[in-house]
């Protein structure tokens, strides 16, 4: 019986090495992106919920103001003139205080309809698969959205979904620029005119 010999002519130091990201780095990148997505989503949800609460409180304040006015009119129609003058001054103060509060709530709601808030709300409505936003800026009538993408086609696909949102349909699309990075991701900049 002959003994078979195995001869390896390739040196081990010449073999290609598989380079892998350290496991902790992969986990930390994944957790960081999850944290950013969660933070953006929760801040938009909090703003939306607070806006809805303010709208509901505004409606409550208007109903309360109507009730105070109704009480004032009932007192005006009553026959007790001595108590009417005392209560009418207190009711006048209540009415002015209620009008001030309603005005404050209305000014807060006007701020909630500001384009910056509307951009965040619209971005939360558009799912991003392989893209993430790194910066949103409003400058001289333009809204600029900076971000990163996993592929060169991910940003244009996301842009089409973004342009389908009702808020972005109202804006004039000005352009997108995409550049590649060393880490095989792609930077993108999208501009809309307000």
For each of the chain's 194 residues, which pLDDT tens digit applies?
677 777 667 777 777 777 777 888 888 888 888 888 887 777 666 666 777 777 777 777 777 787 877 877 776 666 555 555 656 677 778 777 777 777 776 666 656 566 666 777 788 788 777 888 888 888 888 888 999 998 888 888 888 888 888 888 888 888 999 998 888 889 999 998 88
Number of domains the chain contains:
2
- Distance CA(96)–CA(104), nearest Å, equals 12
What are the phi and psi torsion angles at 190 (to 5°)?
-115, 135
Residue after which a domain boundary falls, among 85, 113, 141: 113
135 and 181, same domain (yes or no)? yes
Residue after which a domain boundary falls, among 113, 145, 169: 113
Whether residue 8 is contained in a domain is answered as: no
Whether residue 67 is contained in a domain is answered as: yes
Residue after which a domain boundary falls, among 90, 113, 136: 113
90 and 58, same domain (yes or no)? yes
Among left, alpha and beta (phi > 0; psi -120 to 50; other), residue 105 is alpha
What was the pLDDT predicted at 146?
Answer: 92
Q: Could you tell me which residues are beta bridge partners of residue 135?
A: 146
Both tokens assigned to 113: 């309809």
Whether residue 181 is contained in a domain is answered as: yes
Q: What range does the domain containing 83 cover?
A: 34-113
What was the pLDDT predicted at 189?
Answer: 93
What was the pLDDT predicted at 87?
Answer: 62
46 and 95, same domain (yes or no)? yes
What was the pLDDT predicted at 113?
Answer: 61
73 and 103, same domain (yes or no)? yes
Whether residue 179 is contained in a domain is answered as: yes
pTM of the model: 0.43
108 and 131, same domain (yes or no)? no
Q: DSSP secondary structure string, 1-18?
A: -PPP-----S-GGGSPPP
Whether residue 9 is contained in a domain is answered as: no
Whether residue 3 is contained in a domain is answered as: no
Burial 4-23 (b: 16+ CB within 10 A, else e): eeeeeeeeeeeeeeeeeeee
Whether residue 22 is contained in a domain is answered as: no
Whether residue 23 is contained in a domain is answered as: no
What was the pLDDT predicted at 188?
Answer: 92
Question: Contact at 8 Å (CB) between 68 and 95?
Answer: yes
40 and 100, same domain (yes or no)? yes
């Amino acid at each position: 019986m002959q003994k078979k010999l195995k001869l390896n002519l390739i040196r081990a130091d010449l073999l290609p090495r598989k380079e892998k990201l350290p496991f902790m780095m992969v986990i930390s990148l994944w957790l960081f992106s999850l944290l950013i997505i969660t933070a953006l989503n929760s801040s938009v949800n909090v703003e939306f919920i607070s806006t809805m609460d303010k709208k509901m409180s505004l409606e409550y304040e208007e109903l309360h103001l109507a009730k105070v006015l109704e009480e004032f009119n009932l007192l005006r129609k009553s026959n007790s003139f001595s108590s009417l003058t005392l209560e009418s001054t207190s009711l006048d103060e209540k009415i002015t205080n209620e009008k001030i509060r309603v005005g404050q709530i209305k000014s807060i709601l006007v701020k909630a309809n500001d384009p910056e808030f509307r951009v965040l709300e619209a971005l939360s409505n558009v799912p991003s698969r392989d893209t993430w936003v790194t910066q949103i800026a409003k400058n001289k009538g333009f809204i600029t959205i900076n971000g990163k993408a996993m592929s060169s086609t991910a940003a244009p696909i996301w842009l089409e979904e973004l342009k389908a949102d009702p808020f972005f349909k109202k804006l004039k699309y000005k352009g997108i620029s995409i550049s590649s990075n060393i880490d095989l991701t792609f930077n993108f900049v999208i501009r809309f005119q307000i």
